[in-house]
Amino acid sequence: MNRKHAVMMLLCCLIPVGLLAAVVLLRIPLGSVLTFALVLACPLMMLLMMRTMGHDHGGAHDHTRAVKPESK
């Protein structure tokens, strides 16, 4: 496991635990937290999806030229 993967795993585990601790310790109403999470879920998932899809935009493929039919 490389260092970048380990840091990402650590963040993904500690952030939810920290948020849950903040909700409990600060006595934030759970309804407010869930509403806010639902509002942010769509844009955050879109950003994650766009970042992790791995499309290569290096120009290696030229989709503008027409495909020539095979001649017999």
Q: Write the pLDDT tens digit of every residue in 37-61.
A: 888 888 888 888 888 876 665 555 5
The stretch 23-47 carries a mean pLDDT of 89
Looking at per-residue pLDDT, the higher value among 66 and 43 belongs to 43
**Ordered DSSP codes for 2-26:** -HHHHHHHHHHHHHHHHHHHHHHHT
Q: How confident is the model at residue 66 (pLDDT cuts 50, 70, 90)?
A: low
Percent with pLDDT over 70 in the chain:
74
Find the distance separating the first CA and the last CA of the chain, reported in whole Å: 53
pLDDT for 72: 62
Query: What residues contact residue 23 under an 8 Å CB cut-off, 6+ apart?
Result: 30, 33
